[in-house]
Amino acid sequence: MLVAVAVAALALSASACGGGKKSETTAASANAIWAGNVCSVFTAWKTSLQNIKTNLTSGGIPSSSDLRQAGRQADDATKTLVRSLKNLDPPSSTDGETAKATLDTLETNLSNGMSTIEDAVPKNPSMSDLVTALPTIKAAFTTMAGDVKTAVNDLKKLDPGGEIEKAFHDAPACQVYFAS
């Protein structure tokens, strides 16, 4: 159950990304594509984690097999997020490299968090092993959720009212995260 709570907290923390006003330049369009890709990646990750939580909480008390499967799914979703963010070129703006560095730091932090979780759980864990590992798992997910919030806040601080903020607002994939 703690895994489900931790997964839910991590999923929900991914729901705040960007904000801003419209722009018509070509660079702004490229930046909106970049922002849209960032938001799409976070949306896919968030959806995966929400599905894991739903699966864990819909059938009563989860078995050790259910928890192992949830762990693998969370690991896969996080690895996909990390790979996807790593493959994004920086946006075309004065703060583009800073935005990329923010996402690179997030990638590293999320990978480290998943490594912490993997290290805490034996290869073929018993229910007792999982119960013992739960505090470490919860702490790692809490840290990862904080890392996501920090990255989002750092992206929001880049050139307020400028190109990146506008890009997040202009990107259709980011519309779910803000009012028009």
pLDDT (tens digit, 9 = 90+) per residue, 60-100? 777 778 877 888 888 899 999 989 988 888 887 778 888 88
pLDDT tens, 20-44? 444 344 766 888 888 899 989 988 9
Residue 54 CA to residue 173 CA, distance in Å, equals 24
Decide: pTM greater than 0.85: no
Residue 98 CA to residue 144 CA, distance in Å, equals 20
Residue 112 CA to residue 114 CA, distance in Å, equals 5
Q: Which of 101, 104, 98, 93 is nearest to 161 (CA)?
A: 93
Residue 31 CA to residue 22 CA, distance in Å, equals 12
99 touches 152 (CB < 8 A): no
pLDDT at site 76: 92
Report which of residues 59 and 128 the model is more confident about. 128
Residue at token pair 């703690």: 2
pLDDT tens, 104-127? 999 999 999 989 988 888 877 788
Structure tokens at 142: 């809490």
Contacts 24+ apart (CB under 8 A), 98-106: 98/158, 99/155, 99/158, 99/164, 102/151, 102/154, 102/155, 102/158, 103/38, 103/151, 105/151, 106/147, 106/148, 106/150, 106/151
Residue 121 CA to residue 34 CA, distance in Å, equals 36
pLDDT tens, 125-177? 788 888 888 889 889 888 988 898 888 778 878 877 788 888 888 889 988 87
pLDDT at site 178: 61
pLDDT at site 105: 94
pLDDT at site 37: 92
* Residue 9 confidence (pLDDT) above 80: no
pLDDT at site 155: 81
